[in-house]
Structure 1
Amino acid sequence: MELCAGGELFDRIIAKGHYSERAAAGVCRQMVTVVHNCHSMGVMHRDLKPENFLFLSSDESSPLKATDFGLSVFFKPGDVFKDLVGSAYYVAPEVLRREYGPEADIWSAGVILYILLSGVPPFYGENDQSIFDAVLRGHLDFSSDPWPSVSSSAKDLVKKMLRSDPRERISAAEVLNHPWMREDGDASDKPLDIAVLSRMKQFRAMNKLKKVALKVIAENLSEEEIIGLKEMFKSIDTDDSGTITFEELKAGLTKMGTKLSESEVRQLMEAADVDGNGTIDYLEFITATMHLNRMEREDHLYKAFEYFDKDKSGYITMEELEHALKEYNITDEKTIKEIIAEVDTDNDGRINYDEFAAMMRKGNPDFVNNRRRR
């Protein structure tokens, strides 16, 4: 397995500063080449999102690599898949309808391209369900900034990748052959609107605060609330190692009568394994199970808010956020400013409880917790 030391897709774009349609086309070309190669070998990725594309090294010319094939499956022409997998912002409408094939990967790549060109996802909502509703409606906004200044060729490709009917959607080979996408194509090198980068920063930042807040909630659950989860952890951790492996999780959930497919268990495992070491420790388990059991109740949200609001003023200030996030190794002042900018909807430079609660309820990147029970 290759070590991808060059960082995530959005981080590289944001750090670079200068950003143009040609740069977006170059990134998208590498992504869709990966998809094309997978589809040629009869493999569907099923979880394409920016976090799953890493640069091999920090070199300017470093190739982009797809990672996390945990949800991928082999397919033959005509195969239809029904399990609900993926991540809310990037999921194709036919996946939500539980009847899909490899065209779903093109949709996800199209969503990433939309974000690369505008800084925001095409389908947005206050929670997962409203994101799904927007995906099913399929309305694309090309009238808000910066779209009027984006070339018609780029918009044409986005529309073709985000056709709601998978039968009408462009294939990976056709994407690579599109005039805007080709290396000698018509994508302009003129810098895109600076707002694209700042929106991309905000989109990335919001999920960082949410992860920390969920950990805070998990750490502050009462002994009574945690007792059942403690027992559950012990019963799943059959070798008493203090961590849960994928096999232990799968066996434990089956024993409890939870009817999840292997891919759903894997998705749960990956969502819970915050430090990415391949196992789930006790705190990670509590955090994930709390989320699974809908334990982000009002009182839990308020407890998490109070954790950040050290002086009990009813507001989280820049300094308080900085202090709290330091404990979780988020020390970059820029990121902290981005979090405030995204969550602070009344623009007073601080976060009140309503703004905090709205952020926590906003569409989660991963919706393993919202899957429908079979």
Structure 2
Amino acid sequence: MLIFLPLMEVKKKSRKWKCQIITLQKRTCKAETASVCLKDRVMGVGFSKVLTHTTDDEIPISSTDSAPQLTYKQPRKNLPFPRSLVPPPMPTQCSSQTGPVLGKPYVKIKHTYEMKKELGRGKFGVTYLCVEKATAISYACKSIAKKGPQEVENVRREVMILQHLSGQHNIVEFKGAYEDRENVHLVMELCSGGELFDRIVAKGRHSEREAATVMRQIVKVVDVCHFMGVMHRDLKPENFLFATKDEDAPLKLTDFGSSVFFHTGEVYKDIVGNAYYVAPEVLKRNYGKEIDVWNAGVILYILLSGVPPFWAETEKGVFDNVLGAKLDMDSEPWPSTSDAAKDLIRKMLTYDPKERITAAEALEHPWLKEAGEGSEKHPDSAVLSRMEEFKAMNQMKKLAMKVIAENLSEEETKGPRQMFNNMDTDGSGTITFEELKSGLSRLGSLPSESEIRQLLNAIGNDKNGTINYYEFIAATMDRHRLEKGGSLFKAFHYFDKDDKGYITRDELREAITVHQMGDEAAIDGVFEDVDSDKDGKITYEEFMSMMRNEC
């Protein structure tokens, strides 16, 4: 586990801090749970890392009756960035029994991936370097033990969040999830540039231009997460990785173990995060997505000053400073910092979450705007890519996707529903041309007007230029959901009305006609593409092949 310790002797003179850096040498301790203090890369900015070990791999900051207990996780080590991600072959199944987390048969991940050295160990699991045997591509594999019902639910939620967000700019790419009897394994891309924390250590204080470039990426990814219905709840420099070692490499947000799907107005009470970054409303056990903006504001303060805004010798002292809103903007370097930068920090660290600036508003702040949108060149967002894939599907697959969408659980649709509500700005229950255009822009995509109209016509069933809720879910759901046999079976059964185990031309015609989704030519096209043995019937195997491939 990780813990931030202030490694400086502080004297106040004329409200200015004078810091004497203390370098820790390696020492050993007799007690079993004593810290193993490694010779540290001490931050020239006033705090550093200490690696600690206990029997349960977790060391909390010492707690008092008046202060909640927060825990800390070890960041991933620097790793080679992989070549382009490719769809993984399914690891060999080790039994027909279905796992409680993924709802799929247990697998032996070592048949597909060679597990290498341990990279990190945290509250929620152990991260290993792994190599895909078929491609020799290296990935990070986070293995999480299923210790009880709560852990199962937490891992299931983390997997759903990764699937939901994967493919978005500045978010670590999710390769796949695999489950055996003891663990769930989350395979993700590696990043060779290291953590933002490490660059802060190496660089010390950032210039305003450097800090703005970093912060624009951080605030943008927070805005995307919130727009898609996800609250991260543990934003800190260790959870941002640089894709490469290049100076201008993009940042990738990782570690969604504390994240949750949320609905606007929903209140959360559990204590999460890191003491130096925790928002006051978390300590009061009454908070929402605004805590992510507070976390980001703390990161900005550190980037520009080199020290955390709420510092004390003890955990209780840190919490008192957070709750007392004691924000120092007078000592060095703040007198020489631009008014615009200080204004943004104050707005992000506003005590009242209702008055705090949102991520979307922060992106429009003059100080971040000067970082420039012109240099941001991204591929299409994951949401637009999924819509484009849906547009290209045959009519049978589109209808099957809608059937799956209508049968998703409330938990599975929580993030997508929030995203739909955010796009449906007038609350009409449908998304119009302008709403889709604005929503895709928020997610980082700028398709042409003709492309947007094509999407509306391909996704919307009534051809009136709008998209309803289930049409939106069908077109934007992550394709990992198609790996669930239960979802595919329900969709197949929708067509196979007489339960014969295959779909006839008449059954497909009936389904397509009811939904006004095509004519005889469309039916001919489906059978030409899907009926591989040309016997005039679509079996479950042929149906699954269609659903899991581009058709």
Q: TM-score, normalised by structure 1?
A: 0.48
Choose 1 or 2 for highest CA Rg. 2
More helix by share: 1
More relative contact order, 1 or 2 (CA 8 Å, 6+ apart): 1
Q: TM-score, normalised by structure 2?
A: 0.33
More strand by share: 2
